[in-house]
Amino acid sequence: MKLTKNLFFLSFFYLLIIIWWMFLFFSGQKNSINNYSFVFVYGLLPFIGGIFGILEAKKWGLFSSTLGKALFFLSLGLITWSGGETIWSYYNLILHVEVPYPSWADASFIASWPLWSLGIVYLSFATGAKFGLKKMHGKLLLLLIPMISIFMSYYLLVVVARQGSLEIAGGPIKIFFDLAYPVWDVVILTLALLVYGLSFKFLGGRFKWPVIIILIGFIINYLADFSFSYTTTIESYFNGNWVDLLFATAMFILSFGINSINTKST
């Protein structure tokens, strides 16, 4: 894996985001224009990462190759997620809604999940995971990983965050999104773990580290989604808090991993 100009740019952008977040943290700001602007700016990171990724997908043949399709749909997922963050910022900066959840921003956020899932499916074909499914350990992973992921999600989302109850403030729409995000996270996380677990012997080459980085990104995104659901449920969330740093980190790692699958790695 070689560091390209795009990867350096994404890393520099993320470094600026960290510095900005540290300024917010140490200054104690929670409801200022700096908080709202921070959310808007870090939402641009996955958009840039997605554009870079689509350009890389074109180098791999785009829809004429399995890897090109994988990069395209993974990158498009980044762009739709960025769109959700932009709509969120519109509520913040224009409509003066501090925490617009649920809102139209969620329609764009949640559109990322099927796109990412499709991208990982194509990535599994490109990395040899389909061959691993033919073996016994592959079938065991296909059974165990979803069960473990769903159990962890239920425990964290229902037992921990809601103390065993689904009756929370916010109405049925909030309940739907509170459940939809982690459920899709489980699907994506399961697919990503399967790609890594089933194609382990095939990852000794150029795909090993990019796939590992993408997997880490989805794990952090899972933690960020749960943390967001938890903090909005107990009404402790504010723009620019540690949850947003988790989201920014997840989007950076996903962008970095996707763009690590570049033709210069060959």
Looking at the 3D structure of the chain, how many domains does it have?
Answer: 1
Residue ranges making up the domain that contains 24: 5-265
| pTM higher than the cut 0.75 | yes
Structure confidence by residue, pLDDT tens digits, 40-51: 999 999 999 999
Please state the separation of Cα 156 from the chain's center in Å.
18
Q: What is the pLDDT of residue 50?
A: 98
- Listed residue (220, 232, 214, 254) closest to 82, CA to CA: 254
CATH of the domain at 224: 1.20.1070
Q: Which residues contact 255 (CB under 8 A, 6 or more apart)?
A: 10, 45, 46, 48, 49, 50, 52, 53, 78
The model's pLDDT over 161-187, given as tens digits with 9 standing for 90+, comes to 555 555 555 566 776 777 677 777 777
**Which pLDDT value is given to residue 79?**
98
What Rg, from alpha-carbon coordinates, does the chain have? 19
pLDDT at 131: 46
Q: Could you read off the pLDDT tens digit of each residue along the chain, which spans 266 residues? A: 677 899 999 999 999 999 999 999 999 999 999 999 999 999 999 999 999 999 999 999 899 998 899 999 999 999 999 999 999 999 999 999 999 988 999 999 999 989 998 998 888 777 665 544 455 455 565 566 666 666 766 666 666 655 555 555 556 677 677 767 777 777 777 777 766 665 555 555 567 788 889 989 988 998 898 788 778 877 899 999 999 999 999 999 999 999 998 765 55
What is residue 163's three-state secondary structure?
coil
Distance CA 94, CA 231 (A): 24
In the block, which residue shows the tokens 């390209």? 4
